[in-house]
């Protein structure tokens, strides 16, 4: 369900999104690089408790997103988000 919520947010903001569904992180990196995508997002799950799950951000070169960008995303998500229409 989270996958579809993420895609809905991305496409609502004007981005294109391609679902790869169940796939390995290296495969997401490969597709991001070879298909000339701006980035890839891997929703990771774990056999451990839910708080060990996460999101991996991959740049268009198929590498882990740089720390500065990751910190910007985390700061945005940790902030109080403005909900339109309220």
Which helix or strand (DSSP H or E) is residue 39 part of?
A: strand 39-44
DSSP states along 40-86: EEEEE--SS-GGG-EEEEEETTSSBPPHHHHHHHHHHHHS-PPPTT-
- 46 catalytic? Reply is yes
| Residue from 13, 27, 44, 46 carrying the catalytic annotation | 46
Active site residues: 46
């Amino acid at each position: 369900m989270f996958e579809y919520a993420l895609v809905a947010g991305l496409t609502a903001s004007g981005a294109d999104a391609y679902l790869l569904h169940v796939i390995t992180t290296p495969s997401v990196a490969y597709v991001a690089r070879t298909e000339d995508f701006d980035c890839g997002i891997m929703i990771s799950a774990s056999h451990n408790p839910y708080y060990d799950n996460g999101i991996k951000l991959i740049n268009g070169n198929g590498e882990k997103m740089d720390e500065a960008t990751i910190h910007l995303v985390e700061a945005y998500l940790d902030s109080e988000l403005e909900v339109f229409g309220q």
